[in-house]
C-alpha cells in the first residue's frame, strides 16, 4: 500500500501510525498467510467490548445489566462493524490472498468487521488504551449518541431466551440441518428446537448466526400464537 493510501486511511481514522508495518499487519487477512491480523483482531475485540461497556455504564446509570448487555451487543456486532468499515472504505485497503480476492472478500461483511477490530488492536499495541479508547469512541460516536433504553435493541435470539427463562423453560437448541454451497456461497439451514412447541422452525441464510436469528423469530411468533394455558 502506498504512502498516500496510508495517509488517506489514517485521516479517516483520525489516528496516524508511527509504524506503517503495524497498520499493514492490521489490514492483512489470514488468507495472505503469516503474519496476519488474527491476533490483533482478538485484542481489538476485547478492547472494543470494554470501551463500549464503560461508555454505556456511564451514559445509562439507571440501566439494568440485561439492558446494557443488549445495547453493547448491538454496537459491537459484526453488522455494525461492517457498516463502520464500509464508511471507512476499508475494503479498498485490505490485503487478501488470491482466492479471497477473486471471491469478493474485500466486500465480505465478516472480513470488514474483523478489520475494524484489528485496527483497534493495532492502535492499542502502538499507543495504549487511551488512544484505542479515543478511536472506538470516535468510530461509534453517532451510534452512541443515538442510543436509548427505549429502543428495540433486543435481537430475536435474546428475546426468545428471555421468554423461555421467564417461564422457567429450557433454553432453545439450535441445530444445523443442512449446509449447501461452497466457500463464500454457503447457505445454512438451522432448526430451533423449543420446549412446548410441536413445530420446529427451520430458517436458511448465508451465515449460521443469521439463520439462527430467523429461526428464533419464527419460534417466538409461534409461541405468541399459543393459547395462554399453553405457554
Residue 142 annotated in active site: no
Reply yes or no on whether 38 is catalytic.
no
Annotated catalytic residue within 100, 117, 155, 212? 117
Active-site residue, selected from the candidate residues 16, 38, 45, 65: 45
Side-chain half-sphere of 93: how many Cα atoms within 13 Å? 27
Annotated binding site: 41, 114, 117
What phi and psi values does residue 192 have, to the nearest 5 degrees?
-115, 105
Q: Which helix (H) or strand (E) holds 43?
A: helix 38-59
Cβ–Cβ < 8 Å for 111, 31: no
Strands 187-193 and 202-205: antiparallel
Nearest partner of 53 among 70, 74, 43, 68, judged by Cα = 68
The Cα 197–Cα 194 span in angstroms is 6
Q: Residue positions in the annotated binding site for Mg(2+)?
A: 41, 114, 117
Contact 110, 79 (CB under 8 A): no
Residues with catalytic roles? 45, 117
Amino acid at each position: 500500500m502506498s504512502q498516500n493510501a496510508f495517509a488517506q486511511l489514517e485521516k479517516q481514522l483520525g489516528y496516524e501510525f508511527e509504524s506503517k508495518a503495524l497498520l499493514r499487519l492490521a489490514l492483512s487477512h489470514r488468507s495472505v498467510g503469516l503474519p496476519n491480523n488474527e491476533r490483533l483482531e482478538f485484542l481489538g475485540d476485547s478492547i472494543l467490548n470494554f470501551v463500549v461497556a464503560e461508555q454505556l455504564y456511564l451514559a445509562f446509570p439507571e440501566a439494568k445489566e440485561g439492558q446494557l448487555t443488549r445495547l453493547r451487543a448491538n454496537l459491537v456486532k459484526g453488522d455494525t462493524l461492517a457498516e463502520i468499515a464500509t464508511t471507512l472504505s476499508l475494503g479498498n485497503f485490505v490485503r487478501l490472498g488470491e482466492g479471497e480476492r477473486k471471491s469478493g472478500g474485500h466486500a465480505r461483511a465478516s472480513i470488514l468487521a474483523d478489520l475494524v477490530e484489528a485496527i483497534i488492536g493495532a492502535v492499542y499495541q502502538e499507543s495504549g488504551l487511551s488512544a484505542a479508547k479515543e478511536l472506538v469512541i470516535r468510530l461509534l460516536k453517532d451510534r452512541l449518541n443515538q442510543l436509548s433504553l427505549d429502543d428495540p435493541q433486543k435481537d430475536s435470539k435474546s428475546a426468545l431466551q428471555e421468554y423461555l427463562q421467564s417461564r422457567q423453560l429450557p433454553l432453545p437448541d439450535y441445530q444445523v440441518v443442512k449446509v449447501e454451497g461452497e466457500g463464500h456461497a454457503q447457505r445454512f439451514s438451522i432448526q430451533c428446537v423449543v420446549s412446548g412447541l410441536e413445530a420446529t422452525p427451520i430458517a436458511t441464510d448465508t451465515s449460521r448466526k443469521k439463520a439462527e436469528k430467523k429461526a428464533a423469530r419464527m419460534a417466538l411468533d409461534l409461541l405468541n400464537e399459543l393459547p395462554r394455558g399453553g405457554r
